[in-house]
Amino acid sequence: GAGVSQSPSNKVTEKGKDVELRCDPISGHTALYWYRQSLGQGLEFLIYFQGNSAPDKSGLPSDRFSAERTGGSVSTLTIQRTQQEDSAVYLCASSSSGQGIGYTFGSGTRLTVV
């Protein structure tokens, strides 16, 4: 597609439920990143996929968070047993070569845990 597409754009869930957030990167982009943006906290790195290499999971805040990327394209970020502190905007970005300068971000998924 023309840009990075994320769905849903908004998600309200009850505490303790699992949620799945989806990211469709730009066609042909080999690198895909997930970031979390909380009020007053800036963007926090979560996970990075590059081609067929093992993902860099160093930013995932707990084992309730996981992500996968199928066929080198679409990625899903899963949060299990959601907590109120998980409420944030989850942003996905892709780039053609893994170079940080060439990131294109999606509009994000706004997650609210009630």
Partner 1 sequence: QKEVEQDPGPLSVPEGAIVSLNCTYSNSAFQYFMWYRQYSRKGPELLMYTYSSGNKEDGRFTAQVDKSSKYISLFIRDSQPSDSATYLCAMSQGLGGNKLTFGTGTQLKVEL
Residues that bind partner 1 (CB under 8 A): 4, 31, 33, 35, 40-45, 48, 50, 56, 59, 91, 93, 97-103, 105-108, 110
Nearer to partner 1, 14 or 58 (CB): 58
Nearer to partner 1, 67 or 91 (CB): 91
Burial 70-100 (b: 16+ CB within 10 A, else e): eeebebebebeebeeebbbbbbbbbbeebee
* Measured distance CA(21)–CA(111) in Å, rounded: 9
Nearer to partner 1, 80 or 105 (CB): 105
